[in-house]
Amino acid sequence: MNRTTRLVLGIGAAAGVLAACGGSTDAPAPAPAPAPAPITPPPPAAATPADFFARPASPALVTSTVDDTRTARGTIGRAGGTLSATGADGTRYTFVVPAGALADEVEISMTPIVSTTGAPWTRAAGARFAPAGLQLFQYATLAIDPAADIPLDRQVMMGASDQGELFVATPDVASRAPRIKVLHFTDYWYADMTPEQLNAQRLRIPTAAALQIENEVNAVLNNLRQRMLLGAAGDDSSAPALPDLLGNATRQWWEYVLKPRIAGARACQDWKAVIAAVLSVERQRQLLGASEGGTDVLSNTTGADLWGIAGSGAWLQANVPFQGNLARAAIFQCAKDSSERCTTRHLFDLVDTALAWERQKQLLGIPDDPAFDPVYLNWDQRLDACYRFRVEFDSSVTLFGTPGAREATTTVSAQVNHRMFPGGLGDVFAYLNRQLQGDDNVPATTAALTNTELSVTGPSCGTVSNVARGGGSLRLDFFFGPIRSVRPESARLKLRLGDTSESWTVTGCGLGSVRYGPKPLWTDAFLALHAAEMFERPGIERGVDLQFGRPELPLNGGDVIALKAWQRTAGGLSENTTLRVVHTPQPFAEPALPGTP
C-alpha cells in the first residue's frame, strides 16, 4: 500500500469520526427528529481521458463584485498570520497563513464577494484576495463558515483567475467543514454545484498551465471529499485509484503542457510561470502524501525523473540549462532580464529580483552554490552596474544691497557621478537596515562645486575691479523609494555644501580701495533661501535635504529620472536653480551558459 492510498484511507477514517457524535447528559433525551432522506453519493470521478490536456483551452468566465466596506487587511510575513472578515449575509471567512508561506512582509486583503455573473453554481460564498497573483510557498487555509449549509453531495470549492477563468480549487479533503487550500491569490468560493456541474467544469480547461492541472486534480479531490463525507469512499472497486488518477493526469500534463512551456520559455515571466506550475503540482502531491517535498523537483541535477514520469529527467537535462535545474535556469533568466531592463529601459527591479531569490532559497531550502551564484548571478556587480547616476546641479543667485555692491550675481555648477550600491548586495541590506532604524547618515559622493560666473555692480560712487570666483565642494547621497520599486515613487537628494569664496575690490566713495571677501556669497545665499530644508552639523557640514514628489520624477522611461527646477525671491535674494538626476547604468557582461562557447 503506497503513501497516497494510506492517506486516503486515513482521511476516510477521519471523516467517519467527524460525522459521529458522542457524549451523554442527565436530561431526558428529546424526541428524535425525523431522519433526513439519505443522500446518494455521487459516482466516483472517471479516469482522465487520454487526450485531455491536448485539447484547446475552453475556460468558463465569470465577473464578480465585492463589498469593499467589509474588507479585512493585514501585513503578514514569514511568521504567518490570520485575517478574518464577515460578509453581509453573515458568512464568516478566516484565512490562516502558516509560517514559511511568504518570503517577505506583504500587506494582504480579503474582501467578501457579493455576486458573480456567469457562474455555474446555484449559490456560493466567496472572497477576493489581494495583491492578485501573490504566490505562496506553502498552502494557506481559507475557512468559510456559511450562513446557510450546502448538501454534502453538492459542496465544491472553486476559484477564478484575475482574468475571470474558473477552476476547481483544492479542498481540505480531511475537513468536514468547508476549507480551501490556497497557494496563490485570486477569488475563491464555497459553492453549491451538482455533480453534473462539477463534471462540466472539469472539462472547461483554463488557459494557465498551473490552473489546468489544478482544475483536473481538484475536480477529482472534490468528488473524493463528497464521497468520503457520505461514507462511499473505497466502496467501489471499479473506481480508479487516486494514485492512478493523479499519475495519469500528471503524465499528460507534463507531456502536453509543461514540456512545451519549458521549451518555449524565453523571458523571466515565462520561467516564473513554469516554476509556479511545478510548485503547484508538487504542493498538491505533498498535500496528498504522494511526495516527500524538498527542492529536488526544482533543483534536480541528477537526471532523476520528475514525479516518476519516465524520461522526464533526461529531457530536462537535455533542454534546460544548468543540467536541468529549473530553479537556476529561472533565476538566471530573471537576473539577465532585470539587468537588461535597467540598461535599456531605466527600470529598477534588479534589487527586488536579487532579494526575492535570497528569500526563496531560504524558504525552499536551496543551498548557496559557489559554482553558480558568483558566476552567473553575480549580484554585487549587477547592482553596482545598474544603480549609477549623474547628478547635474546648476544654480544662480543674485544678491541686492550686499556690502560692497548694489547687485551681485554668482553662478555655480556641479556634476557628480554617484554609485548607489558600490558594495552590491551588502550595501542593499545595509540601506534597508538603516531605513528600519531611521538612520540617514549614509555614504556620500564628493565633487567640485565650480563657480562659473560672478558679476558685481558696485555702488554709484565707486568702481569694481579684481573680481575673483572661488568654487566650493558638494557632497551628496541620492536615494529613491521604495527601493524595490520598478520606478521611483519618491526620491531624496541630500546636498552637503562646502563654502564658495567670491571676492572683489571697490575703489572710490572716499574710502580708497576696499577688498570684499573672500566670502561664501553663493553658499550663504542658497542656504538662506532654503532655510526650511537646511540641516547643519556645527563645525562639520551644512546643506539642504531635498525631497522629490511624483511631479518631479519623470515616468517616460528615459534616462532623466528626477528633475527639479525652481525660482525663489526673498529678503533681497533671488535664485534660479535646476537639478537633474540622470541614470547612467554600465553594461554588464553576461556569462555564457555552461556548454556554450
**272 falls within a domain:** no
Q: Are residues 389 and 334 in the same domain?
A: no
Q: Are residues 370 and 492 in the same domain?
A: no
How confident is the model at residue 482, as a pLDDT? 81
Q: Is 41 exposed, middle or buried (0-12, 13-18, 19+ CB in 10 A)?
A: buried
Same domain, 187 and 318: no
CA–CA distance, 79 with 97 (Å, rounded to integer)? 9
Query: Which of 360, 377, 394 marks a domain boundary?
Result: 377
Got the DSSP string for 232-251? -TT--TTSPPHHHHHHHHHH
Whether pLDDT at 35 is above 80: no
Q: Provide the pLDDT for residue 18.
A: 31
Let me know whether 370 and 434 are in one domain.
Answer: no
Closest CA to 214 of 160, 269, 162: 160
Please, are residues 75 and 67 in contact by the beta-carbon 8 Å criterion? no
Residues found in the chain: 597
Tell whether 67 and 215 lie within a shared domain. Answer: yes
Please check whether residue 50 lies inside any domain of the structure: yes
Percent of the chain with pLDDT over 90: 71
Kindly give the pairing relationship between strand 541-548 and strand 560-570: unpaired
3-class state of residue 468 by DSSP: strand
Residue 593, domain member (yes or no): no
Task: Please identify, among 377, 411, 427, the residue that sits at the C-terminal boundary of a domain.
Answer: 377
**Can you tell me the distance from the alpha carbon of 475 to that of 544, in angstroms, rounded to the nearest whole number?**
11
**Residues 352 and 454 reside in one and the same domain:** no
109 and 233 share one domain: yes
Q: What angle do CA 409, 563, 497 make, to 5 degrees?
A: 50
Q: Which domain holds residue 77?
A: 41-237
Structural domain total, the chain = 3
Q: What is the rounded distance in angstroms from the CA atom of residue 4 to the CA atom of residue 240?
A: 13
CA distance 412 to 527: 14
The pTM of the full predicted model, rounded to 2 decimals, is: 0.84
Can you tell me the mean pLDDT for 118-137?
95
Instruction: List pLDDT tens digits, range 297-329.
Output: 888 878 889 998 999 999 999 999 999 999 999
Q: Please tell me the predicted confidence (pLDDT) of residue 596.
A: 61
Same domain, 442 and 373: no
Q: How distant, in Å, are the alpha carbons of 125, 157, 279 from that of 134?
A: 22, 19, 14
In a domain, 439, yes or no: yes
Among candidate residues 212, 237, 262, the one where a domain is terminated:
237
Question: Can you give the pLDDT at residue 477?
Answer: 87
Q: Is residue 18 part of a domain?
A: no
Give the Cα separation of 304 and 453 in Å (integer).
73
At residue 442 the predicted structure's pLDDT band, cuts being 50, 70 and 90, is: low
- Between CA 469 and CA 452 the distance in angstroms is 8
Q: Domain check: are 483 and 357 in the same one?
A: no
Domain-embedded: residue 247? no
Q: 108 pLDDT band (50/70/90 cuts)?
A: very high
Residue 9: pLDDT above 60? no
Q: Is residue 246 part of a domain?
A: no
* Domain presence at residue 22: no
- Judge if 205 and 324 occupy the same domain: no
Residue 2 has pLDDT above 50, yes or no: no
- Within this chain, do residues 226 and 328 fall inside the same structural domain, yes or no? no
Is the same domain home to 423 and 320? no
